[in-house]
Amino acid sequence: MNNNSVGIVKPHFFTFAEPPQEMPLDSGGRFGPITLAYETYGELNDRASNAVLIAHALSGDAHVAGRHSAADKKPGWWDYMVGPGRPFDTDRYFVICSNVLGGCKGSSGPTSLNPHTGKPYNLDFPVITVGDMVRAQARLMDHLGIERLLCVVGGSMGGMQALEWAIEFPQRVACAIPIATTCRQNAQGIAFDEVGRQAIYADADWCEGQYSSQGRRPVKGLAVARMLAHITYLSEESMRQKFGRRLRQKEAYGFDFRTDFEVESYLQYQGESFIKRFDANSYLYITKAIDYFDLQRDFGTVEKAFAHVSARFLVLSFSSDWLYTTAQAKEIVRALKINHKNVTFCEIPSSYGHDAFLIENPQMMKIIADFIGHVYQEESAR
């Protein structure tokens, strides 16, 4: 195992909001009990001033780094960023990552058992928002004894959570690093999410959301939803470089409807691997939360949304990301500057599209390491 790895890690679970103290939701209802699955790396210092919260994207989970056993074939989803000497240096920082409310990897979501029925919630689970996810995370920070986070960082939906943290809890965040994200989901993003949801609805095994994890599940619909979404995570250039029009194990067209092209095979693989680790109803809930994310609607204008933030910001975008473009990142930067907030912005050249934040990139790594290191020094001197 790499000397810079965090090594073998184990998940933890925190349950709160037990009735009658259920957590208020943006929908107007209340919900509890709530369990969050989370992992931690490094040690919290005596002042509890070195905590970094990493927020995951749509299909992510709490397992951001290390391995759950020596037999694990793959490390956590952002492993190269977390560990001794890495940008989120675990010799220096205490790193936390939790599975979001509504998820399917240990946190309360539609696959969780409803204590009133003893059966999975399925569509009886309440519709949640990114704000609800963040307020649940805040309860976890309370549980861990962390009053103020050194940093909240995340890409895509994780970036939305970073923005929400800085706005909802301005005194609890020293710096925020939203990556490849937006201040509101646009019509194109909503459209892609809706087509994905329709693919799940159209699967006969969806059963109006009342399927069982022990029986037939809407895996075909979920696979199609993942295939569609994955296209938005790539760029035309990366697909051309990786696949072009190359044929799969043949030299001529088959003149049938079997798989001809390498790119077809790749997308099928993405769909097939996704259904092994994700739940269709969770996909519905999380994409709906993303679609509801709109700081302009919540505050009247994007500028008003950032009026009371106190965190320093590092906003990053990628040149080939057409899902959450550099123009959308600059809208965040512009709103912060209008409010005279401390913000640094960088567009990172990359041909990998939206998924670039998940791919090892020396420029991104150095920018983040330098930024958080500078904030840490300033916070330590307070």
Tell me what pLDDT residue 355 has: 97
Residue 203 appears among annotated catalytic residues: no
Q: Which helix (H) or strand (E) holds 336?
A: helix 326-338
Active site residue 89: no
Angle at the Cα of 158 from the Cα atoms of 345 and 378, rounded to 5 degrees: 50
12-184+294-380 placed in CATH 3.30.70.1230 = no
Q: What percent of the chain has pLDDT over 90?
A: 96
Q: What is the CATH number of domain 190-286?
A: 1.10.1740.110
Collapsing DSSP to helix, strand or coil, 116 comes out as: coil
> Which residue, 35, 30, 153, 162, is CA-closest to 88?
153
Closest CA to 65 of 52, 82, 53, 51: 82
Mark the ranges of the chain whose per-residue pLDDT is less than 70.
1-2
- Check 89, 203, 279, 321 and give the catalytic one: 321
Say which of 98, 238, 354, 355 is annotated catalytic. 354
Percent of all residues in the chain with a pLDDT value above 70, rounded to a whole number: 99
Burial class from Cβ neighbours inside 10 Å (0-12, 13-18, 19+) for residue 258 reads: exposed
Catalytic residue among 59, 107, 156, 317: 156
Q: What is the pLDDT of residue 250?
A: 76
Which sequence spans correspond to the domains of the chain? 12-184+294-380, 190-286
Statement: the pTM of the whole predicted model exceeds 0.75 = yes
Same fold, 12-184+294-380 and 190-286: no
What was the pLDDT predicted at 382? 83
pLDDT given at position 29:
97
Task: Tell me whether residue 354 is one of the annotated catalytic residues.
Answer: yes
Consecutive H or E run containing 312: strand 312-318
Contact (CB, 8 A) for 162 and 97: no
Q: What is the pLDDT of residue 214?
A: 78
